[in-house]
Structure 1
């Protein structure tokens, strides 16, 4: 399909009368998926802006992968609507998917083939791929994910991290408008994680919208421009990462040679979740109406020698805990 035909097709979404035209690269309205009595995704309203690196966050079992499978047309929603690249899914799967690279639930590889031959096989299944430049595309994708040296090795001999890289290379065989990655750093060591972060930033700079599902909050916070948080199938919040973090109050940090006395005063004033070390106290400050200057005065008035006092910037983990009252694995 040539570019003009693609744009004409996108403009004709064949939506029900009165439906609002989608504005995001991904957009859902009341999207739900039920398996028997289990509601895996519950009326999800999601908007992924064009050009963003969008972190789709939540603990394992929160409904992230089920949502992605609906977005990619792999399963039918029970109710609600989903649009990808301006087209309704799964009805427009054949039109949309050639413009989407995806790595979902780990790569499906031919173990008896080499890494390069796996990519050649994937590329040959793409009707839009030019066979004359197939090997060059495969080699470029292998180089981009750091697998050139292992290109001739059979995939069954790859480590989990190498298989993950090869799946990502398959998603990058062609230029994509949208890249959908489900837990892309599974099995990667810290160096591999850094390389994936760098690659995601490069792709975004080139104009690809990246939709990145993960339960690793710290990883996502370093690379994403926007994020959404899910738990138990429901969307809790979404928006620019900086705005989400700004909406949560950070932890109070007091540096002092009198940590025991400082902790006592802070607790009396309503602080909670106190952590005391040799020269520092961190805690959840009192309610939003409390003045931090009053806490400082109380500490000084009690004879506590205050050497440092302030709020640490809230993280995405702080946002999640503040909204749900629970945490999830941020270390992998």
Structure 2
């Protein structure tokens, strides 16, 4: 990884207010495996950007290229307005990252691991090292376990410690690869809250996940990957806007309701206790409601739920998605 060219112009801000921008980014491994295929990605400044896709879709390979850890086969990537991997020495001091889980010294305590990480950073001020380590441990909820050896940490605790390492210094960009991996529900909530807090302070957060619910809860923007290719990207609120939501009928007569909905042209009718859901028919829903009442169905609730990110993914790819992890 060499120094960046002297002819590369200085840029105080990324062009077009994009913190990450790729064009045709491609990675083909030996043997012909195409891990990332012509990726055009734009991450707006000050966003919480969800990088979404099933395991094996190319997310981690993309992140490794963005961070200068591996060379792309073709295409370009710019991070904080500078070309990667050429400008790694200029860019990386402004980036905190947790990729594929943290590399830890098992024989050292959590606190000593962070002290070692910080000492290896030539931009870190040794005079404030212990105070910054203590603050990072507190921020991820590891103060009580700071003196415990890392080899005794659970997977979730190791994830927290890796995140603390990424937070030792103020960062313009935080890159997190599956940050809630191994965490219990309470830990997931705490990490999501921390991500929101960091974003409110002006840090752009690039968060890779295969959990649709995680992206929908915390991200402002998202991109969807599948089999190494970009399916779509944009504001989270817009990704599902073009997808029709599910028609939901609440009734003590679910069997009759399902029959009438099918007669009215509804598809994918699913009955669960007193709730019937379906893809809405292409007709006035008031007529559908009237047909239910005319057939003697006691309708206690009738409406269309907003389409979710999962609905959008299925509509775009025709595939299911691992929503539970």
TM-score w.r.t. the length of structure 1 is 0.92
- Describe how 1:168-317 pairs up with structure 2 within 5 A: 168-286=163-281, 289-317=282-310
8 Å CA contact 1:33, 1:39 repeated in 2: yes
Equivalent of 2:39 in 36, 44, 48: 44
Moved over 6 A (4+): none
8 Å CA contact 1:22, 1:86 repeated in 2: no
The alpha-carbon distance between structure 1 residues 213 and 201, as it changes in their structure 2 partners (threshold 3 A), is: same
CA distance in 1: counterparts of 2:155 and 2:176, whole angstroms? 16
Aligned match of 1:3: none
| Alignment deviations for residues 289-310 of structure 1 (CA, whole Å, 9 cap, x no partner) | 4322232232223232222111
Cα distance, 1:268 vs structure 2: 2.0
Aligned match of 2:3: none
| Alignment deviations for residues 297-327 of structure 1 (CA, whole Å, 9 cap, x no partner) | 3222323222211111111111111111112
Aligned match of 1:322: 315
- Describe how 1:103-122 pairs up with structure 2 within 5 A: 103-122=98-117
CA distance in 1: counterparts of 2:165 and 2:52, whole angstroms? 24
- Long gaps (5+) in structure 1: 1-7, 14-20
Cα distance, 1:97 vs structure 2: 0.3
Count of residue pairs the alignment pairs up: 316
CA distance in 1: counterparts of 2:10 and 2:131, whole angstroms? 30
SS in 2 for 1:276: strand
Aligned match of 2:11: 10
8 Å CA contact 1:252, 1:283 repeated in 2: yes
CA distance in 2: counterparts of 1:10 and 1:122, whole angstroms? 28
TM-score w.r.t. the length of structure 2 is 0.94
Q: Does 1:26 align with 2:6?
A: no
Is 263-272 or 175-184 further displaced after alignment? 263-272
- Long gaps (5+) in structure 2: 1-8
Equivalent of 1:152 in 138, 147, 155: 147
CA distance in 2: counterparts of 1:299 and 1:275, whole angstroms? 16
| Alignment deviations for residues 93-112 of structure 1 (CA, whole Å, 9 cap, x no partner) | 11000000000000000111
Aligned match of 2:5: none
